[in-house]
Every structure is written in structure tokens, then in C-alpha cells.
Structure 1
Amino acid sequence: MKQRIKALVEINDNNGSRVFAVCIQILILISIVTFTLETILDLEPETRKILRGIETFTVLVFTLEYLLRIYVANKKLKFVFSFFGIIDLLAILPFYLAFGVDLRSLRALRFLRLFRIFKLVRYNRAMNHFTAAIKSAKEEILLFLFITLILIYFSAVGIYYFENAAQPEHFASIFDSLWWAIVTLTTVGYGDVYPITVGGKVFTFFILLIGLGIVAIPTGIISSALTKSVEPDSE
């Protein structure tokens, strides 16, 4: 019986597994739609009751799926604390936390229901390739993030010394300058804080050039890793 359930709930090439996967994906989409509809203020009470019924049904199915996956897992604790295990738990947790508790105090937890959309990743081959690519390039990505943090701090220090005297209200400290550094290095450029001194403008020019490179580097790393991840399937 355990092997039959395992063949059903885990992704396999048999028809039962495919039907199960499609049904779960449909329920995920339905639950996301109901979650979106519930935010409409002027819904009729009957409509809200129907949406609540759909919510209850989908959560019960997701709970059963979660328990079955724990049951068939060879290493149960490893599954519970895995990425998909945590996502599956977060998808159903807000529903059960609401029992016997003032819902207003748990309103902030309702956003956790959005984690159900991540359950779709399990059934998407392209997303699985992307996940594999991220794992294979994690050292390069971590190194890139570390270098980026150093550049952000360097930029904040530089612009502070150039602009502090001219704009003490915007660049009062290095901490205040971090916002400008992040916005500039990511090439967003909101325009709420900008340099007015000659030195600050020249410094910003070079930071913008570095920012263009920062945007391009992770794209190259991930695309290269993604190509390697897809190659075995194409063979």
C-alpha cells in the first residue's frame, strides 16, 4: 500500500501520478483565485460562504497530500524541513491557526496562503531545471552577493563624503546613504535622492557603470548553469 501511495503522490510516469499532479495543480489555482476574490470588499455574504467552503475543501486536500508525502518519505524529517515540505506546511498553516482565535489578530498571516503558488514548482519541469541551476551555481551566486554588498557599502561611504556637506538632510550618515547606493547600483534611480556636487555626480557616473555590470553578471551565471541543467534532458 505504501508503495502504491508513493507512486501516486510523487512525480512518476504512470497515469495515476499524472492525474494526481493535474488535480493538485487545479486546486492550487482555484485556491489562489478564491484568495484573490476574498479581498473584494463588497462581496455578498453568500459568495463569501461559497469561497470559504472552497477554501476548506482545498485545505483538506492539501493537508491529506502533505500527510501522505510524510508517510511515504524515506526520511520523514528531511522531507518536513525540505523546501517543498516547508512550502506544503505554509500552504495549510494559516487555515488551522485561525481556529479558536480572533481572526483580526492573525490577519497578517493570511499572506502565507500565497505560498500555495510555490507548490506548482514541484510539477513544473522548467522550474525544476531552474532550481537545479541555482543549486549548481550557488557558490558563484553567493560570491556575487558578497561582492555586491561590499560595493553597496563602498558606494554609500563615497557618496556620503561627497554630498554630506551639501545635502546633510539626505546624506546625514552612511546609513542614510545606503538607500541611494542601493537604488543607484540596481539602476532603479527613483530620483528622490541625487547628488548635486561635481564630485558626487562624477562618482555617481562610475557607480552607474558598475551597476550595469552588476545587473548583467547574475544573468550570465544563471543562464550558463541553466544551459548545463537542460543539456542532459536534450541528450
Structure 2
Amino acid sequence: MREKLRVLVEDNTTRKGKLFDYLIQVLILFSLIAFSIETLPNISKETRAFLDFFEMFCVIVFSIEYLLRIYVAEKPLKYIFSFYGIIDLLAILPFYLNGTLDFRALRAFRVFRIFRALKLIRYNKALHRFHLAAKLVREEIILFLIVTGIFVFIASAGIYHFENEAQPEAFASIFHSAWWAVVTLTTVGYGDVYPITAGGKIFTFCILIIGVGIVTIPAGLVASSLSKAREIEEKENEDKLIK
């Protein structure tokens, strides 16, 4: 029985496994839609009652799924503390906390219902390629993040030097200047904080040029690694067919 349940829950290559995955995906989508409808103002009592009933139904199904995954897992504790295990728990936890403890602060836990959207990742076949691609460029991404952090600091310190006297409130410190550095390096440029001195404008131009590279480099790394991951996946499929 345990092996049959494992095939149903974890193997989406079988007919029953695919059906199980599709049902959970549809339920997640409807659950997120219901969660969004709850935020509408002035909804009727009948609608509110239906949404509460549907929420209870979703929680029951997700709870059964969560317990089944623990039951069929070879190492239950490993699943419980894994990324998907935590996401599955957060998807149902707000309901039980809201029903058992009467603290107003616990209402904030209801926001964790949005984590049900992350449950959809589990059922995406392309996830394997992304996981493989992440392994291929892990060292490059880490190096890129370190370099980006260094550039953010340099940009924050530089703009503080040029703009502190002219705009003491907007660029009060390097920490205050970090917001400008982030939005400029990422080429977002909200326009809420901007340089007014000649040195600050020239410095901003240099940072913007660097920012273009910061945006495009990770995109190129991911694109190339995904292409490589697809080749590896196709090779794995060919090896399976040969066997």
C-alpha cells in the first residue's frame, strides 16, 4: 500500500500520478483565487461563508497530501525540513493557528497562504532543468553576487561623497545612499532620489553603465546554463531509452 501511495504522490509519469498532480494544481489555483476574492471590500455574507467553506476543504486536502508525503517518504524528517516540506506546511499552518489560538497577531500568519503558489513549482517538469542549471553556474552566481555587493557599496559611498552637502536629507549617510545605489545599479531608477551636482551626475552615468552589465550578466549565465541543462536532460532520456 505504501509503495502504491508513493507512486501516486511522487511519480507523475504514471496516469494516476499525473491526475493527482493536476488535481492539486487546480485546487491550488482556485485556493489562490479565493484568497484574492477575500480581500475585496463589501463582499456578501453568502460569499464569505462559501469562501470559508472552500478554505476548509482546501486545507483538508492539502493536509492529507502533506501527511501522505510524510508517510511515503523514505526519510520523513528530511522531507519535513526540506524546502517543499516547509512550503507544504506553511500552506496549511495559518488555518490551524487561526482556529486554535486567539491572538490578533496570529492573523498575520494568514499571509503565508500565498506560499501555496510555490507549491505549483513542484509540478513543473522544467524545475529539474532549473535545478541542474543552478548547479552548473552556482560558483559564477556566488561570485557575481559578491561583486554586486562590492559595487553597491562603492556606489553608495561615491554618491554620498558627491551629494551629501547638496542634499543632506536624501544622502544623509552611506546607508541612506544605498537605496539610490540599488535602484541605479539595477537600472530601475524610480526618480525619488537623484543627484543634482555635476560630480554626482557624472558618477551616476558611470554607475548606470556598470548597471547595464549587472542586469545582463546573470541573464546570460542562466540562459547558457539552461541550454546546457537541456542537453544533459536529453542525454539522460536517451540513456534511459537505450537501457
Q: Which TM class, normalised by the smaller chain length?
A: over 0.9
* Distance apart, 1:134 and its partner CA: 2.3
1:90 correspondence with 2:99: no
Q: Deviations over 1:152-175 (max 9, x none)?
A: 000111111111122212212111
Query: Structure 1 stretches of 5 or more lacking a match?
Result: none
Mapped contact 1:11–1:123 kept (Cα < 8 A): no
In structure 2, distance between residues paired with 1:41 and 1:121: 31
When the two structures are superposed, what TM-score results if normalisation uses the length of structure 2?
0.92
Q: Name 1:3's counterpart in structure 2.
A: 3
When structure 1 is superposed on structure 2, of 123-132 and 1-10 the one drifting more is 123-132
Where 2:28 maps in the other structure, the secondary structure is: helix
* Distance apart, 1:58 and its partner CA: 0.9
In structure 2, distance between residues paired with 1:4 and 1:50: 34
* Distance apart, 1:131 and its partner CA: 3.1
In structure 2, distance between residues paired with 1:135 and 1:104: 43
User: 5 Å matches for 1:181-200?
Assistant: 181-200=181-200
Where 1:169 maps in the other structure, the secondary structure is: coil
1:136 correspondence with 2:131: no
In structure 1, distance between residues paired with 2:28 and 2:135: 26
* Distance apart, 1:5 and its partner CA: 0.5
Query: Structure 2 stretches of 5 or more lacking a match?
Result: 236-243
In structure 2, distance between residues paired with 1:49 and 1:110: 17
* Distance apart, 1:106 and its partner CA: 2.2
In structure 2, distance between residues paired with 1:110 and 1:95: 7
Q: Deviations over 1:10-57 (max 9, x none)?
A: 033221111111111111111111111111121111111111111111
In structure 2, distance between residues paired with 1:136 and 1:58: 37
When the two structures are superposed, what TM-score results if normalisation uses the length of structure 1?
0.95
In structure 2, distance between residues paired with 1:211 and 1:76: 45
| One-letter identity of the residue aligned with 1:228 | K
Q: Deviations over 1:128-158 (max 9, x none)?
A: 3223322332221121111111100001111
* Distance apart, 1:118 and its partner CA: 0.9
Percent of aligned positions that are identical: 56
Q: CA RMSD in A?
A: 1.4
Give the 4+ runs in structure 1 shifted more than 6 A. none
Q: Deviations over 1:158-205 (max 9, x none)?
A: 111111122212212111111111111111111121111111111111
User: 5 Å matches for 1:1-40?
Assistant: 1-40=1-40
| One-letter identity of the residue aligned with 2:93 | L
Mapped contact 2:187–2:211 kept (Cα < 8 A): yes
Residue correspondences, number: 235
* Distance apart, 1:74 and its partner CA: 0.9
Mapped contact 2:129–2:233 kept (Cα < 8 A): no
| One-letter identity of the residue aligned with 1:79 | Y
